[in-house]
Amino acid sequence: MSDLALTESGRLHAGLPDEQRLRRAADQFEAQFLEILMRESRAGREEGGGDQIFNESPALNQFQDMLHGALVERSAGSMGIADMVVEQIAQSASSSGDRHAQQ
C-alpha cells in the first residue's frame, strides 16, 4: 500500500510529523518521476527499432519491467529531486507563515 493512502481518519500519515510526511511524499514523487522517465526512454528505444541484441519477447519485457522497478526503488530519494521538492515546499510554507503572522 502506498504511503499516500488515507488512514481511517481521512488524513495522510496521521501519526507522523509533518516533516516526515513531506519527505515520504517527496520521495514517492521522485520515484514516480523516475518510473515515467524509464518507461518513456524504453518506449523511445522500442520505436527506434527495438532491441537489436536480444529478440523482443514477453519474458524479456517482464524482466526489463522488474529491473526498471528495482532501479527506480533503489534510486528514489537519491537523485536530488525529492530534496528540491522538500526545500521548495518548506520555503513556501515558511513564507506563507510569515505573511499570516504579519496580518
**For residue 6, is it within any domain?**
no
**For residue 5, is it within any domain?**
no
Return the bridge partners of 12, or none: 6
Under-50 pLDDT residues of the chain: 1-2, 6
Which residue range(s) make up the domain with 50? 26-97
d(CA 97, CA 92): 8
d(CA 44, CA 35): 14
Q: How many domains does the chain have?
A: 1
pLDDT, position 1: 39
pTM of the model: 0.64
CA angle 12, 21, 71 (to 5 degrees): 105
**For residue 4, is it within any domain?**
no
pLDDT, position 94: 81
Q: Which residue has the cell 510554507?
A: 93
